[in-house]
Amino acid sequence: MNSSQANLDLLAARVQKLEVSNHRWKLLSALLLLSIVSVVVMGAKPADRIELPIIHATSVEAQQFVLKNENGRVFAVLTTNPTPKLDHNSRWFAPSEDPATLRFYDEEGHLIWTAPPDHTVVPAR
């Protein structure tokens, strides 16, 4: 009986080691599965991109287009509003007989070219 008791104790010890090993494998498998699921979910999520929306239009309507740099310096103006003038009551008005104009400016902001030509402007160099 002593030998059967020893065999039973040896068998119980081996079963205990197998249970501990089995528990470790289950924990490792669960962590591996969680990692794989995390990678799949992260890959499925679209990237966070900050892109300016592009507007596709067949026509754009405006009374004035102003070309500026990031500092706000004006390079050109295309306008259908004629140059405002003072009337006899010192109020600003836009005469309707003036055509649309395109004006270009230099680095100092001086008018260098206009279309239709304004005869008071010095020609571009």
| pLDDT single digits (tens) 8-19 | 899 999 999 999
In-domain check, residue 108: yes
Q: Do the domain assignments include residue 75?
A: yes
Task: Count structural domains, the chain.
Answer: 2
- Tens digits of residue pLDDT in 56-107: 888 888 888 889 888 888 899 888 866 555 445 545 445 555 578 888 988 8
Instruction: Answer yes or no: is 13 within a domain.
Output: yes
Residue 57 lies in a domain: no
Please give the Cα distance from 62 to 78 (Å, whole number).
10
Range of the domain at 94: 64-115
pTM of the model: 0.41
Q: Give how far Cα 79 sits from Cα of 20, 41, 46, 57, Å.
A: 83, 52, 42, 20
43 and 76 assigned to the same domain:
no
Residues 81 and 44 in one domain: no
